[in-house]
Structure 1
Amino acid sequence: MMTRQPITHLVCDCDGVLLDSESIALRVLHRELLPLLPALPTPLEGAGAQDDQARSAALHAAIANRLGMYTDLLLDELQAEFAFDLSAPQIARIHGTVGRACGEEAQLVPGVAEALQAIRLPRAVASNSDSVRIESGLRRCGLYGQFEGRIYSAHDVGRPKPAPDVYLAAAAGFGVDPARCVAVDDSVTGVRAAAEAGMHVLGFTGVAHDRKAMARKLKEAGAQKVFDDMKQFPELICELIWLR
């Protein structure tokens, strides 16, 4: 059972919480992988276009359901599901293309800058993305100064989410017990990681493709509260602080 302690620190996921970059990752991954889908056997007359549309939709949904995962693990799972035969150079190219697009095109999640101004807690970033991508996006969107020196990437600390390593690293960086931290994450893997680390967890669904379904999944993964508008964020932090 989590030890009741004052909440003193905030740990944020990056993609989907601070930066609206997951829609970019979804678009780029779908664009890069769709031409590589193995060909189906010759379809019945008139069925080809319909089959292609169904396969494209299935790939799109499979990627969307895995957003927030470590990109290499996401690609491994897609390889298994769709029988891709990706070479190491292809994987590296796709990984780089996604990272560059997210770093160069990401926008702030609506309302997050104002929410962070209203939350008076020291803060860190804990993400499955690599440090270059995180820092590039935060600099581009004007948030880097708030998190400088407190940016933790799973690429640097050990196992990716859903393992708790990156969240534990953030707490260790503060020098506090994880139970004194509140984490906010938008993915099932991230919520599981924060919960396993022993943090209080808020789930965010504001940029999810299906907010209702994602809210259910995040609660099942361990989120104490789920919200879809950054205007709610400071209030939820206050509730956790006073209801400890």
Structure 2
Amino acid sequence: MIGNIIFDCDGVLIDSEILSFAVDERMLPEYGITLNATEIARSFGGVAYREMVAELNARFGVNIDPVAYQERCEAELARIFETDLEVVAGMPDLLENLSVPFALASGSDLARLDLCLGLTGLDGFFQNRIFSAEQVARGKPAPDVFLLAAETCRWSPESCLVIEDSPSGVIAAKAAGMRAVGFLGGAHRSERDGDGLLDAGAEYVAGNSSDLHYYLRDLGLIGVGQIRG
């Protein structure tokens, strides 16, 4: 029985992925790699920088330093986030109406999570229930960050439902022994991305926050208050 929810952050709670992948699209040609933002989103959505860079190095025969690349991207994104970052429509209302405990488990590092949650006003929802791939040995699609969240919160994996926008995140949730719902409410996602989430093991794909709200309500995880967004 589901008694707890674990949210991904980027592309689920905050509309950051479309900004992040645009930065990658601009920077990667400097390393001899040409990929557009859509290709990057499909290949690396939900994946931590270290795993992304390792795959790029192997795929393209280059030698990008993951720490230096992440530092460049994060510095550029920090400037962009100050003016352009938005919360995913309807998510604050959804969080306010949840009737079960919830946490956040992300591929982003803690400094970025602190910045983004503060800028969007979501930081108060999670308090000390924020977990990062920075804290574990392996990022998504490995299950480590979800298992860390469950262990720290003293939740059994079987009691957890994960909300994810990327196939790698869904795979990680399933590997942790958790159920997963796919989410397409971020600006970087389209309806055709739903098949990838289902193939990865999502039990349902919500097109936006209202759709997700209704689904969680049907599971008894959310109140019956007004649905907005």
By the TM > 0.5 criterion, same fold? Answer: yes
Larger Rg: 1
The CA deviation at 1:93 is: 3.5
Aligned CA distance change for structure 1 residues 79 and 208 (closer, same or farther; 3 Å): farther
Cα root mean square deviation, aligned:
2.2
1:1-244 aligned at under 5 Å gives the runs 5=1, 7-37=2-32, 56=34, 58-65=35-42, 66-87=44-65, 90-97=68-75, 100-101=78-79, 104=82, 105-207=84-186, 209-241=188-220
In the aligned structure 1, how far is the partner of 2:40 from the partner of 2:169?
16
Q: TM-score when scaled to structure 1?
A: 0.81
SS at match of 1:108: coil
Q: Say which SS state the counterpart of residue 94 (structure 1) adopts.
A: helix
1:184/1:203 contact within 8 Å kept: yes
Secondary structure at the residue paired with 1:68? coil
* 2:144 partner amino acid: D
Q: Is the 8 A contact 1:138 1:144 kept in 2?
A: yes
**Which consecutive unaligned segments of at least 5 residues does structure 2 have?**
222-229
Q: CA deviation at 1:68?
A: 1.4
TM-score (norm 2): 0.86
The one-letter code of the counterpart of 2:138 is R
Residue deviations 1:145-165, cap 9 Å, x none?
110100000111331111111
SS of structure 2 residue aligned to 1:10: strand
SS at 2:104 equivalent: strand
List alignment gaps of at least 5 residues for structure 1. 39-55
**Which residue is equivalent to 1:43?**
none
Aligned positions, number: 219
Q: Is the 8 A contact 1:34 1:59 kept in 2?
A: no
What percentage of aligned pairs have identical amino acids?
A: 33
2:219 aligns to what SS in structure 1?
A: helix
Instruction: Tell me how far 1:87 sits from its aligned partner.
Output: 4.5
- What amino acid is the match of 2:135? D
The residue type equivalent to 2:27 in the other structure is E
Alpha-carbon distance in 1 for matches of 2:92, 2:125: 10
In structure 2, do the counterparts of structure 1 residues 98 and 167 end up closer, same or farther at CA, with 3 Å as the change threshold?
farther
**Once the two structures are superposed, what CA deviation does each residue of 1:106-132 show, in whole Å capped at 9, x if it has no partner?**
210111111112222211100111011
Stretch deviating more after TM superposition (198-207 or 75-84): 75-84
